[in-house]
Structure 1
C-alpha cells in the first residue's frame, strides 16, 4: 500500500486558506459523488469509475491534469506492488484448498463441532487468531474460501458467517500489535508495547463480539444473499480437470498449510520485538522468511504437496489449478489498484494536511481528539494505516506527559478511529465487495456499518478504561 510518513503529513507547509479548504472539501465530495453515481446509476465498472472519479477530483481541486494522472498512477502502482502479488498467491492457495478437498475437510470438521448458533462465534475466533499476525488483505484471501464453503455447506446466510470473520480480521488490524498501524503509533507516542497489547486485548474482545456475531444477525437481514459459487474454469481447460480428488488431504496437514504463513509472520514479529537488532543474524533470517510475500509463497509451494499431491493431483492438474485461480481475480486486482490510485490522489491534493490544519484548533479531550483526527483522515484517504500514522504524529506532544496506561489508550483510540466507515476510497471496501459478490449499496450496509461499529465501540471501551486506569 502507499505509505505516507508522519513528517510528510505534519510538515510545515504553506498555510491553507479558508477558501482553499472549502474548495478542497467540495472537490473531495464531488469526486466521491462521481464514483458513486457512475457505479450505482450508470452501472459503470468500478475500475473505470474510480479512474474517472480521481480525474474529476483533481479537476475540481484545480490541480494540473498531468499531476493528477501522476498521483493516480503512482497510487495504483504502489497498491498493486503492496497487495497485488499477495492477492494472487492467496488466490492460488485458496484454489488449491478448494480443488483438493482440503477446504471441504476443514468445513466438515467445523460443522461437526460448531453447529447452529455457535458457527458465527467459531468464525470470529478463527479469524481473530489468524488475523493476529496477518495483514488484513492476506487474512481475507486466506479465509474467503472457508467462509464461502461454510455458508454454502451449512446453508447459512453469507453475512451471518462473513461478518464475524471480517470483524475478527479488522479488529486485529486496527488495535493489536504487531500490525503496522499500532506499532507505528506506539513508537510515535512512546507507549509501552506490553501495556498497549494487554489493554488492546481488553478492548478487542468485546468490540469483536458486538461487531461480529451480534451485528451479523442484523446484517443477514439487511443483505440476505447466498454465497457466490466457485468461479468456473477458463475456456480451453482440459475436460475432466474439475473431477473430484482421489482422496482428501488430512485435516492436520490442511490446517498446518493454511497456518504456515501465519506462523512464519508471527515468528518474525516475535523476533522483531524480542531481539530488535537489525544486525542480528536470526532477525535477518526471520525478516526474510516472515515477510508476507515469502510466507505466502512458501505456503503455496508446500500446499502443492500437502494439498495437491495428497489429493492425487498430477503435475498437469496442479498447473491447471494455478491457472484457474488467477483468471477470476483480474477484475479484483484492477479495482483494488484503482482504489489505491484514488486514495493517493486525495493525499496529494492536500486533504490530509487540510484536516490536520483544521483539527489543531479543536478543544476536545486528548483521547477523543486522537480518535476524531484518525476518523477524518480515514474518511478522506481510505487508509487505516495513513490515518493512524498521521493522527499519532499530531497528538504525540499531548501524550508526552500522560501516564503509561493513558498513552497506551491513546494508541488504541487512534487505532479505533482509523477503522471508521470504510467506503469507496478504501481498497478493503472493494476487496470485500468483489469477494462476497455484493453491490456497492449492500457493501455499505454491511461492511461499512461493521467498520463503524468497531470504531465507535472501540472508542467507548477505551474511554471506559480511561476512567478506571
Structure 2
C-alpha cells in the first residue's frame, strides 16, 4: 500500500503522532488496557485523525500488521518450539554450563554478548534473539539476579550487528544508495559496532541490571528445569546442541551471502543458488533445525506423541507475543502511510547542519516517527545521497554508520522489536522504556560518536 497524499501540514501531522504515542502510553501504563487492544485502538484513531480516507483505513491497519506478522509469527513459533526442546532436554543447560566453564560466572554476560556478536553477523535481530532465548534464560536462572544482566548484552549485540554491519539489509541498502563500497563499509562498521556494543550495551547493562530487577520469566519455557514435563534422561552432548543451533545460523548465513552477491552483480542467479537461498530463508532454516531437534532430542526418553504435546503446549503462551508484535507493526505502518515520517524528514533536511550530523538527526527522526530501523536507514540514505557525491569511500562508510546509529536510538512503542523484547523477557512497557529504549539509545549514540571522531581524520 502506498502512502497517502497528506491532507495536513507537517506540524499537524507531527502533533498527531505525538498525541498518538502519549495516548498509547497512557492506555497501557495508566488505564492498564491490554497492549494489543490499545495498539489497535490507537492505530485506528491515528489513521482517521491523520486524514487517511475512511474506506482505506482497514487496508492501512492490515498493511503493517500483516507485514510484521509475516516476518515474526513463523520465527517466533518455530524458535519457541526449538527452545522448548532445548530447555526440557537439558540442551540449553549444557550450552550454559559450557559458557560458564570457559568464561566463569562473572563473565557470563560478556560471553553471551560475544557469542551473539559472532552469530549476529549473518542473521537478523529477531531470528538471533529467538535462537538465543533458551540460553539467556537458562544462564539467568542458574545465577539469579536481574535477567537484564544476561538479556541486554546478547539482544544488544544482535541489534548492533543488524543495524550497522553488512550483509544486513539496512546498511547494504544505505551503502548502495550512497554509492559506497560494501566491503569497506563492513571493514569499518564492524569494529565500530563492537566498540558501540561494549560501551553502549555491555557497560550500560551492568548499570541497568543493578538498578532494575527483572525476574526470569516462565512465559516461554515453563517452570525451572521443565517442571513436570521433564524426563530424567542424560542431557545431549555439547556438540549435538551446538550443531542444532548452527543449522539455522549457517543456512541463513549462506542465504545472506548469496543474496548480497547476486544483488551486487558478482554472482548470477541459478537453480543451485536459488535452492540455497530457499533453504536459508529464516523460517525454512528454523523449520529444518526444529525437525533435526525433534529427531535428535525429541525422542530421548519420550515418545513422538509426547514430544508433539510438548511442542503444542509451548505455542500457547506466545500467542499474545505474536499479536502484540503485529499490532506494534500496525501502529508503525499507520504512521508511515499517513505521511508523518515524510513530514518529519522534510522539516529537517534543509536545516543546514553538517552532513554527518544531518544524517544522524534525520535517521533518528524517521526511527522515532515510524519505528522501523530498516526504513529509517534506506529513506535517510536516499534523502542525502545527492550530498554524498563528492565524498570518498571511507567518508561514505562513516555516513552509513551515522545513519545506522540514528536508526537504532529510541526504540519505543511503534517498533515491533520493542514488543518482542518486552514480552520475551517479561517486562511491562514502563520497564522496557527504562531498559531496552535506554540501551538502544546509548548503542546508537556511541556508534555516532565514534564515527564523528573518525570523520575529521579522513576529511
What TM-score range do you get, normalising by the shorter chain? Answer: over 0.9
Shift of 1:299: 0.7
Q: Which runs of 5+ in 1 are unaligned?
A: 235-239
Aligned residues of 1:99 and 1:245 also touching (Cα < 8 A):
no
Taking the aligned partners of 2:380 and 2:181, their CA distance within structure 1 comes to: 18
Taking the aligned partners of 1:344 and 1:245, their CA distance within structure 2 comes to: 48
Taking the aligned partners of 2:297 and 2:402, their CA distance within structure 1 comes to: 42
Q: How many pairs does the alignment contain?
A: 452
Q: Does 1:217 align with 2:225?
A: no
Q: Deviations over 1:98-154 (max 9, x none)?
A: 111101111121222222331121011011112111111111111111111101112
Q: What secondary structure, in the 3-state scheme, does the structure 2 residue paired with 1:117 have?
A: helix
Q: Mean alpha-carbon deviation: is it higher for 270-279 or for 175-184?
A: 270-279
| Corresponding residue number in structure 1 for 2:330 | 341
- 1:385–1:232 distance in 2 versus 1, CA, 3 Å: closer
Shift of 1:278: 4.5
1:94 corresponds, among 58, 62, 83, to 83
Q: Mean alpha-carbon deviation: is it higher for 329-338 or for 25-34?
A: 25-34
Q: Deviations over 1:351-401 (max 9, x none)?
A: 121122212211011111111111000000000011001001101111111
2:146 corresponds, among 136, 143, 157, to 157
| Corresponding residue number in structure 2 for 1:295 | 285
Q: Deviations over 1:138-171 (max 9, x none)?
A: 1111111111110111224211111111110110
Q: Does 1:396 align with 2:385?
A: yes
1:368 corresponds, among 343, 357, 364, to 357
Shift of 1:294: 1.2
Taking the aligned partners of 2:352 and 2:297, their CA distance within structure 1 comes to: 58
What TM-score do you get using the length of structure 2 for normalisation? 0.94
Q: Deviations over 1:64-110 (max 9, x none)?
A: 33323321122111111121111111111111111111011111212
Q: Deviations over 1:293-331 (max 9, x none)?
A: 21111111111122223x333101210121012111000
Q: Does 1:283 align with 2:270?
A: no
Aligned residues of 1:164 and 1:211 also touching (Cα < 8 A):
no
Q: Does 1:114 align with 2:103?
A: yes
Taking the aligned partners of 2:220 and 2:368, their CA distance within structure 1 comes to: 33
- 1:288–1:232 distance in 2 versus 1, CA, 3 Å: closer
Shift of 1:273: 4.2
Q: Does 1:254 align with 2:241?
A: yes
Shift of 1:213: 2.0
Shift of 1:233: 6.8
| Corresponding residue number in structure 1 for 2:217 | 228
Q: Does 1:265 align with 2:252?
A: yes
| Corresponding residue number in structure 2 for 1:237 | none
Aligned residues of 1:86 and 1:138 also touching (Cα < 8 A):
yes
Shift of 1:201: 1.3
Q: Which runs of 5+ in 2 are unaligned?
A: none
Q: What secondary structure, in the 3-state scheme, does the structure 2 residue paired with 1:88 have?
A: helix
What TM-score do you get using the length of structure 1 for normalisation? 0.92
Taking the aligned partners of 2:90 and 2:106, their CA distance within structure 1 comes to: 25
Taking the aligned partners of 2:171 and 2:160, their CA distance within structure 1 comes to: 11
- The correspondence of residues 26-425 of structure 1 with structure 2, limited to 5 A, is 26-229=15-218, 231=220, 242-274=229-261, 276-309=266-299, 311-425=300-414
Aligned residues of 2:80 and 2:220 also touching (Cα < 8 A):
no
Taking the aligned partners of 2:221 and 2:267, their CA distance within structure 1 comes to: 48
Shift of 1:463: 1.1
Aligned residues of 1:124 and 1:212 also touching (Cα < 8 A):
no
Shift of 1:441: 0.9
Q: Mean alpha-carbon deviation: is it higher for 281-290 or for 30-39?
A: 281-290
Q: Mean alpha-carbon deviation: is it higher for 202-211 or for 330-339?
A: 202-211
Taking the aligned partners of 2:96 and 2:149, their CA distance within structure 1 comes to: 16
Taking the aligned partners of 1:158 and 1:360, their CA distance within structure 2 comes to: 41
Q: What secondary structure, in the 3-state scheme, does the structure 1 residue paired with 2:133 have?
A: helix
Taking the aligned partners of 1:230 and 1:106, their CA distance within structure 2 comes to: 21
Aligned residues of 2:87 and 2:221 also touching (Cα < 8 A):
no
